[in-house]
Amino acid sequence: MARCWRNRFRDAWCDMSNRVSNEIKGNTKKTGRGPKAIIFACRWCALIGADGAGKNRVQLPLNFRVIPVECAARVEPDSIIRAFSYGIDGVGVLGCHLGGCRYHNANHRALKRLDLLRKLLDTVGIGSGRLLTSFGTAHEYHQFAAILNEFFQGLREFPPIDEWARAQMTDAGKG
């Protein structure tokens, strides 16, 4: 019987996944307090905003790293989950506005998937607020900065995800 369609693309996927994983792992070592985030930015729109924010030296939160992607739909939900498991407190997926995807409305599917992922994150108590999605509202550098600042403001309300990720909550008293 046919192998799962996902696995036929495994080779191409692996390369991206490796890169993401390394970025994420690298990001966990960032010092300083405060939440850490990974922002996937579609290179056709949001990345322009991100680059612009860097160049124009607007006020930005600390401790986030941008990973450029071809399209917001390129971001596997698994990458987002893996980021959380490594101790990243928040993940953002920024793409083009819903009429403007270069890849035939792939961003629609991204939106649908990520809304569904948010449900799961809410169920287990990680919190849907840790996943930021933006479709078309982060093109300009000031938009990008505004969105990120607001996102981080929300993230600071959450307990650090390490608590969840490393199962440090024990019921036992120490002996």
Partner 1 sequence: MNIREDARRAARKVLEQGKAQGVLGLREAGDGVSPHLFEDPGDIDSLVVEPKWLLAKLATGILKDLPDDYRLAVMCRGCDERAIVELIKRNQLDGAKIHVIGLACSQEQARACLCTRPYPSEVAAGDVVEGVDPFQDERARTFLEGDQRERMIRWATELKRCVKCYGCRNSCPICVCVPCKLEDDLWVGRGEIPADLISFHLIRAFHLSDTCVACGACQDACPENIPLMLLQISMRAFLMQEYGYEAGTDRERRSPMLSDLTKEPSPGYEIPGWVDSLKDSV
Partner 2 sequence: MNLGFIKTTCPYCGTGCGLVLQVRDGKVVGNYPDRDHPVSKGSLCIKGWNAHEFIHHPERLTSPLLRKGKTFYPIPWDEAIDLVVERLGRTAEKYGGDAIGGLCSAKCTNEENYLFQKFIRAGFQTNNVEHCARLCHSPTVAGMSQALGSGAMTNSIKDLEGAKCILIMGSNAAETFPIIMGDIYKAKDRGARLIVVDPRATEVAKNAHIHLQIRSGTDIPLICGMMRHIIEHSLEDKEFITKRTEGFDTLNEYLTGWTVERAAEECGLDGDMIREAAETYATAAEASIVFCMGITQHACGTANVLAICDLALLCGHVGKEHSGICPLRGQCNVQGACDMGGLPDVYPGYQRASDPGIRKKFEDAWGRELSDRPGLAVTETIGSGGGDIRSVYIMGENPVMSDPNRNKTLEFLKQLDFLVVQDIFPTETTQFAHLILPGACFAEKTGTFTNTERRIQLLRKAVDPPGEARDDFTILCMLGKAMGLGFDYTDPSEVMDEIASLTPLYGGVHFYRLGHGGLQWPCPTDDHPGTPFLHKGEFTRGKGLFVVPEYTPPVESPDHDYPYIFITGRMFCHYHTGTMTRRSPSLNRETDKPFVEINPVDAARIGIRGGDAVRVSTRRDAIVTTARITERVSRGSIFAAFHFFEAPADALTIDALDPVSKVPEFKVCAANLRKEESDGLS
Q: List contacts with partner 1 (CB under 8 A).
A: 1-4, 6-7, 14, 17-18, 21, 77-78, 81-82, 84-85, 97-99, 105, 108-109, 111-113, 115-128, 131-138, 147, 150-151, 154, 159, 163-165, 167, 169, 171
Is residue 174 a contact residue for partner 2 (CB under 8 A)?
yes
* Interface stretch with partner 2, choices 56-64, 96-104, 133-141, 167-175 (CB under 8 A): 167-175
User: What are the tokens at 168?
Assistant: 């440090």
Q: Whose structure tokens read 């490796």? A: 18
Q: Which is nearer to partner 2, 124 or 167 (CB)?
A: 167
Of the CA atoms within 13 Å of residue 10, those in its CB half-sphere come to: 5
Which residues face 40 on adjacent strands? Answer: 67, 93
Rounded to 10 degrees, what is the CA torsion of 61, 67, 71, 74?
-120
Q: Report DSSP state, residue 169.
A: -
The one of partner 1, partner 2, none whose footprint includes residue 172, by CB under 5 to 8 A per kind, is partner 2
Is residue 171 a contact residue for partner 2 (CB under 8 A)?
yes
φ, ψ of residue 111 in degrees (nearest 5): -60, -45
How many angstroms separate the CA atoms of 158 and 162, rounded?
11
Binding mask 85-104 for partner 2 (x = CB under 8 A): --------------------
What does the binding site for partner 2 look like in residue numbers (CB under 8 A)? 167, 170-175
